[in-house]
Structure 1
């Protein structure tokens, strides 16, 4: 009979280089680096230009916040198609709340009103997360169906609140500080917010009981239940987390665009899923990391920005991203089959 120590021994004897070469994050980072190098060679003054890099980081910040929440959801073997619509709904409720507190025009609103607007955005996102989580975890309705329904319902609710027109009166202080402001010697505030969210998400997933339970449920929900994990409660919390981060992303989008952008986030859910999967998180659950997601989110962003800079027809951009995404899923399946055959 093989003992535990004997089964672990081969892993212990692996060299550091071999273990590093087998890490998903390393290969994802190399792909991203290769893209930057290729576009840099084609147009040295393009994507490597400091201004372009800064705009790339700012434009990716909102998507990164969405993708951190999506990482937790997909690791549990779930999916959340509603994040883009919840982002829009949260931005609308936040804007309407700030305008209501300012007598109909929040342009000159102070930080008290802005903070209330931020809280309203987070609570709005959390409410949709609770609804999704309860229907998925308690009512046992497939996540795909529930979040597809929430995708339409959240957007419809936002349009009902505004009559189908964007809210365009935003606090100037919010736009200047969060939307276009800088911190820490010139780093865009949007980027700092996204980095903090990613850091907290990475800590939560990799070092806490919440993260361990997330992996356990994604690996084998029945086994997790038998070991005493409150699967239903945990799944609700995971979808609440996704909703809260969607609300935060909605508030950030509001600050950056100074409008509610009703029609500008219809594909954010797919972009977030693409970033998470490209970052090495398995659609089958149980595998993934926030660090991988951070890298994965930038792969389609760099592709799109690079194609724009070198003048490639804009219609080729989603095709290229789709090819990379399908290749990532195929590679994940190959790795899973190889692992199961050992």
Structure 2
């Protein structure tokens, strides 16, 4: 079978080669090849800036705990989006899929005990949310792979369709009693050794799928498809089937995000997820995953998720209006895409 190298692997090889020619020591060569390092330095700079701008207000245990909790759902979504973008795809529907999965689980909970429902009902609600998310993602993946419809168009249509179905099912209003009190008291507000369960769950998802991307054939095939789908096909990778799996994974994690949202906020928040795609794509691209496919890592996404989270919290602490926070996140996304584009052009010139 013909070996299919990802763009990430090629880039790292080129960087190491240039470092050797420049006579850099081995440690500096490794540093030069790590994209995530630069993203991490940006995160550290933001923390330092807000710490200096608001002494005693930003750099606190409470603030960092809240940042972790607020970022946990977007981290889970970001892991799925990392896989999608590595294949040179995009998923604009994730916010609506979160809403649809939350509505499906919430309506079942309402009709089987409401806030007083037991763990059996909670378990079924979780399965419903995961099934809705995975099913919706698989459907979009099938349209993209078999119908040859661009991911941008499929998921843009999915954004409207999923939200429309959720609104039809609820009349456009958040139903009362959508979350179990048991789910909220444990996953939503519970802690293990002082660490919120939401953060622990997000960390577990990140670790598992980070290892899958870096160490398994599924991860190698994902990188290969994003690097060169034709070459991957010739090497024996079933590109269409794999894309269905990748989008199903994105939907599955959106369903899990819906469960986490219900646990944390106790409501479906039908109107509260319109910018989820912006936040998640920003985080993934900031983490070094290329919008042109073939390069990326879950570790980079972890760092990328915390940049908007720290930015938003820091702006709140120093008293910047909420509307400017959205502007800042949007500008960060544009800057990240521009930098990614320039890096790609530089590689092509070599």
Normalising by the smaller structure, the TM-score range is over 0.9
Which stretch of the first structure deviates more once superposed, 312-321 or 135-144? Answer: 312-321
Q: Is the 8 A contact 2:15 2:32 kept in 1?
A: no
Q: 2: distance between equivalents of 1:9 and 1:302?
A: 32
CA distance in 1, matches of 2:15, 2:293: 24
Counterparts of 2:82 and 2:175 in 1: how far apart (Å)? 31
Q: CA deviation at 1:9?
A: 8.7
Moved more, 33-42 or 310-319: 310-319
In the alignment, structure 2 segments of 5+ residues that lack a partner are 1-13
Q: What TM-score, normalized by structure 2, do the two folds share?
A: 0.92
Alignment map for 1:207-218 (pairs within 5 Å): 207-218=215-226
CA contact (8 A) 2:122 2:180 kept: yes
The counterpart of 2:188, out of the listed 145, 167, 179, is 179
Q: Is the contact between residue 168 and residue 260 of structure 1 (CA under 8 Å) also seen in structure 2? A: no
Shift of the alpha carbon at 1:254? 0.6
Are 2:349 and 1:338 aligned? no
Q: Is the 8 A contact 2:98 2:254 kept in 1?
A: yes
- Give CA-to-partner distance per residue, 1:225-254, whole Å, 9 cap, x none: 111100000000000000000000001101
**What number of residue pairs does the alignment pair up?**
332
> The residue matched to 1:107 in structure 2 has which SS?
helix
3-state SS in 2 of match to 1:260: coil
Matched, 1:127 2:138: no
1:274 corresponds to 2:285:
no
Instruction: Name the counterpart of 1:149.
Output: 157
Partners of 1:16 and 1:336 in 2: CA distance: 25
Alignment gaps of 5+ in structure 1: 1-6
Matched, 1:79 2:90: yes
Report whether the alignment pairs 1:89 with 2:97.
no
CA deviation vs aligned residue, 1:105-142 (integer Å, no higher than 9, x gap): 32211111101110100000011011101100011111
Give the Cα separation in 1 of the matches to 2:265 and 2:309. 18
- Measure, in 2, the Cα distance between the counterparts of 1:229 and 1:251: 33
Structure 2 residue corresponding to 1:257, chosen from 256, 262, 265: 265
CA contact under 8 A between 2:187 and 2:264: conserved in structure 1?
A: yes
Paired with 2:235 and 2:154, the residues of 1 have a C-alpha distance of 27
2:291 is equivalent to residue 283 of structure 1:
yes
CA contact (8 A) 2:19 2:29 kept: no
Inter-partner Cα distance in structure 2 for 1:123 and 1:84:
16
The one of 37, 44, 52 aligned to 1:26: 37
Of 78, 88, 97, the residue aligned with 1:67 is 78
The reply to whether residue 58 of structure 1 matches residue 101 of structure 2 is no
Mapped to 1, the partners of 2:255 and 2:262 lie a distance apart of: 11
